[in-house]
Amino acid sequence: MNYTKCWLAYPRIQTMGGAPLRVRCDFTGPVAGRIMEELRLAMRALYDKAVEPAKGEAEITVTRNAALHEEGYCLHVSGGRAQITAGGESGALYGVFALLRRAQMAGCAWDELEGEESTAPSNPLRMLNHWDNMEGDIERGYSGQSFFFHDNEVLVNERTVDYARLVASVGINGVVLNNVNVKGAATWLISPRYYAPLRQIQEILASYGIRMFLCINFAAPMELGGLDSADPCDERVAQWWREKAREVWENLPGLGGFVVKADSEGRPGPFTYGRTHSDGANMLADAVAPYGGVVIWRCFVYNCQQDWRDTKTDRARSGYDNFMPLDGSFRDNVILQIKNGPMDFQVREPVSPLFGGLKHTNMMLEVQIAQEYTGQQRHVCYLIPWFREVLDQDMYCCDGPSTVADLVSGRSYGNTLCGMAAVANTGDDPNWTGHDLAAANLYGFGRLSYQTSLTGEEIAREWARLTFGQDAEVESVMREILMASWPAYESYNAPLGIGWMCSPNHHYGPNVDGYEYDRWGTYHRADCKGLGVDRTSAGTGYCQQYNSPLAETYENLETCPDELVLFFHHLPYTYVLKSGKTVIQHIYDTHFHGAEEAARFYDLVESIKDRLEPETYRRLHERLAHQKAHACEWRDVINTYFYRKSGIPDAQGRKIYP
Ligand code: GCW
């Protein structure tokens, strides 16, 4: 094995030895087997204790309580005995992982461990979307190559099992193996060529309570089936999909369903045939319905051929403009998957107004833990506090609970097909996520999607303890860096919510005008007087896609929050923000501050150098040294650009250009 165990390393708490712990597990089936395996491994590592199965009297009991949620559990531990009751197999597994987490958080002897908790998942679906290509590379992957695919073959090995363990331990129950951009061999994943190995992966995942999903190519009837059309309203096409679905589910029983990126960034879709997204999604939904399959249809649809001189077209509007008219027209087994913001995973964006708009459609929130625009896993950027902000945003769309968390959990409208998905950040690197600290995003996304009431700070503490063991100083340094990392990244990135000042294509490093005169609809509109996009009623009208009072909050400069003010308004450099600073001074100050923060992260890790495994330290040191230097580059490129544009010097007289 040439990779780390991340938060499942189970670093020793105390050597106890003594009689084996007896475990009585009343569940049978594949997941029950995993439960015993995990307890055996963990108890040996944590306490040097053996574990043995028992029929009657036992120190650890795992029993069914039909009154509990299928994926929920009750845990009671005291005096060397632990009782886990659960509604179903997955709940039992989660209860076991909760016990092991609790043991590590307490850090005491097994006999002294006390506590109870009772929980059910906040979200029905808690998914990871891998953008892995069959050739073995990963779109927006920053942790090496795929461990699912290589050279157009499907990989199944020990790592598949360890992956499933890792993500199940934090409550993930759905995994999409392949990239949403389905090209080349990936179109053939739904053909006899690949069913055998896919079924092996599916069985491994299922033994950890995880459903497998596949992305499909909307043009598969043509590319795979030899038809001359993929028109969703053509009966031959619908028939082809019905037969294909039968074949797929015969070979992959229990498959969760299909994920579709259609009419987006050049991918085929119903628009080619003058059809709507609901025509496309419903045709597929009907084909997969007999097998309990679901169609997850992405809302990342926009015109990527914009002319930069066109100031009326606004990419931010596109999700709402495309999908709102279709509300209520989708089948019950269709879920619309919506990115958190209206643009594309920038370091800061307002929440997509679609969440507040759709009332009769299943919705899922899509976030990205692959740090495409947030440092590509070379910079540390712990995104969980940001996701919490997104979830807490009230959309003012109904009388009852109406935050994004309420909407995607089903609490607002009673949906059961809904939840959260993250674009995954894993690869075959020895530490899974490139940056050791990026594992906190993988851990955190799972934990947050299972229990959205957790805070970023709580999750950071858990992750640090589970990963690094009982060293209080290491834990506090890791937590400190994680919690300061997203604000720091935002400080030296594009200012005040405007986004996109990165290099085109690969999206790494500062380039203020990189996208400014391009076709992608991502503009900052800076000139010698000011910058920002006017999205008020006088501008693109995007503000009005929100419900009241959010629409007015953003529309009015007096109430629009500073951190988003340039997303909604075009302002002069001399405009005074709520912070009391001018826009230009804010730009200078935050960029100096952000670079100082990056240097502080570097120093913090140096201060615990001797407490870390040499290999962990080496990796962290290398990444943080790079971030420290690269944050200076961001600072200098952005500050110089705006100094030259505005001609206004820094009030603190610092050196602006390199
Ligand atoms: O942000 C863009 C990425 C693309 C990605 C697309 C999407 C998978 O740059 O690489 O394609 O989003 O979400 O579909």
Counting Cα atoms < 13 Å in the Cβ hemisphere of 506 gives 7
pLDDT at 353: 98
Mutate to test the pocket of ligand 1, among 137, 215, 300 (most ligand atoms within 8 A of CB): 300
3-state secondary structure of 532: coil
Mutate to test the pocket of ligand 1, among 129, 337, 364, 372 (most ligand atoms within 8 A of CB): 372
Atom of ligand 1 minimally distant from the CA of 181: 8
Question: Could you tell me whether strands 530-531 and 149-150 are parallel, antiparallel, or unpaired per DSSP bridges?
Answer: unpaired
Q: What is the pLDDT of residues 247-267, one digit of tens each?
A: 999 999 999 999 999 999 999
Residue 573: alpha-carbon gap to chain centroid: 35
Q: Given pLDDT bands bounded at 50, 70 and 90, which one contains residue 573?
A: very high
344 catalytic residue (yes or no) = yes
Distance 382 CA to ligand 1 centre (A): 20
Q: Residue 433 in contact with residue 375, Cβ under 8 Å?
A: no
Q: Residue 620 in contact with residue 436, Cβ under 8 Å?
A: yes
The finding on whether 303 has its CB within 6 A of some atom of ligand 1 is no
Mutate to test the pocket of ligand 1, among 133, 137, 139 (most ligand atoms within 8 A of CB): 139
The finding on whether 344 has its CB within 6 A of some atom of ligand 1 is yes
Share of the chain above pLDDT 90, in %: 99
610 catalytic residue (yes or no) = no
Q: Residue 551 in contact with residue 542, Cβ under 8 Å?
A: no
CA–CA dist 75, 63 (Å, integer)? 11
The finding on whether 633 has its CB within 6 A of some atom of ligand 1 is no
CA distances from residue 60 to 25, 44, 54, 112, 475 in whole angstroms, order as listed: 8, 15, 9, 14, 29
Q: Residue 552 in contact with residue 563, Cβ under 8 Å?
A: no
3-state secondary structure of 326: helix
CA–CA dist 204, 198 (Å, integer)? 10
Distance 372 CA to ligand 1 centre (A): 9
Q: Given pLDDT bands bounded at 50, 70 and 90, which one contains residue 1?
A: low
Mean pLDDT value across residues 215-239: 98
Q: What is the pLDDT of residues 292-301, one digit of tens each?
A: 999 999 999 9
CA–CA dist 120, 173 (Å, integer)? 13
Q: Residue 142 in contact with residue 425, Cβ under 8 Å?
A: yes
Mean pLDDT value across residues 581-599: 98
Question: Could you tell me whether strands 51-53 and 73-78 are parallel, antiparallel, or unpaired per DSSP bridges?
Answer: unpaired
pLDDT at 273: 97
Amino acid at the residue 426 = T
Share of the chain above pLDDT 70, in %: 100
Helical residues (DSSP H) of 514-572, grouped into ranges: 550-555, 565-568
CA–CA dist 652, 658 (Å, integer)? 17
Q: Given pLDDT bands bounded at 50, 70 and 90, which one contains residue 621?
A: very high
Active-site position among 344, 366, 462, 589: 344
Atom of ligand 1 minimally distant from the CA of 298: 14
Predicted model pTM? 0.98
Q: Residue 213 in contact with residue 201, Cβ under 8 Å?
A: no
The finding on whether 261 has its CB within 6 A of some atom of ligand 1 is yes
CA–CA dist 435, 190 (Å, integer)? 34
* Termini Cα distance of the chain: 46
The finding on whether 180 has its CB within 6 A of some atom of ligand 1 is yes
Mutate to test the pocket of ligand 1, among 344, 345, 366, 374 (most ligand atoms within 8 A of CB): 344
Q: Residue 463 in contact with residue 166, Cβ under 8 Å?
A: no
The finding on whether 450 has its CB within 6 A of some atom of ligand 1 is no
Mutate to test the pocket of ligand 1, among 131, 137, 140, 500 (most ligand atoms within 8 A of CB): 140
372 catalytic residue (yes or no) = yes
CA–CA dist 462, 112 (Å, integer)? 20
pLDDT at 17: 83
Mean pLDDT value across residues 607-623: 98
Mean pLDDT value across residues 400-409: 98
Cα Dmax for the chain: 80
What residue's CA is closest to ligand 1, atom 13? 300
Mean pLDDT value across residues 597-604: 98
Q: What is the pLDDT of residues 478-533, one digit of tens each?
A: 999 999 999 999 999 999 999 999 999 999 999 999 999 999 999 999 999 999 99
Atom of ligand 1 minimally distant from the CA of 366: 13
3-state secondary structure of 121: coil
Q: Residue 636 in contact with residue 597, Cβ under 8 Å?
A: no
Distance 272 CA to ligand 1 centre (A): 21
pLDDT at 482: 98
Atom of ligand 1 minimally distant from the CA of 368: 13
Atom of ligand 1 minimally distant from the CA of 140: 10
Distance 430 CA to ligand 1 centre (A): 25
* Cis peptide leading into residue 549 (ω within 30°): yes
Q: Given pLDDT bands bounded at 50, 70 and 90, which one contains residue 2?
A: confident
Provide the mean pLDDT of the chain: 97
pLDDT at 658: 60
What residue's CA is closest to ligand 1, atom 2? 344
The finding on whether 457 has its CB within 6 A of some atom of ligand 1 is no
Copy the structure tokens of residue 69: 């949620």
Active-site position among 265, 310, 473, 613: 265
Measured torsion, CA atoms of residues 158, 160, 164, 166, in degrees rounded to the nearest 10? 70
Distance 615 CA to ligand 1 centre (A): 33
Active-site position among 372, 428, 490, 555: 372
Distance 655 CA to ligand 1 centre (A): 37
Q: What is the pLDDT of residues 494-509, one digit of tens each?
A: 999 999 999 999 999 9
Residues 6+ apart with CB under 8 A from 253: 291
The finding on whether 277 has its CB within 6 A of some atom of ligand 1 is no
Contacts 24+ apart (CB under 8 A), 441-444: 441/369, 441/371, 441/382, 441/383, 441/384, 442/6, 442/166, 442/167, 442/170, 442/369, 443/6, 443/7, 443/170, 444/382, 444/383, 444/384, 444/387
Q: Residue 446 in contact with residue 126, Cβ under 8 Å?
A: yes
Q: Is the pLDDT of residue 472 over 80?
A: yes
Distance 279 CA to ligand 1 centre (A): 23
pLDDT at 551: 98
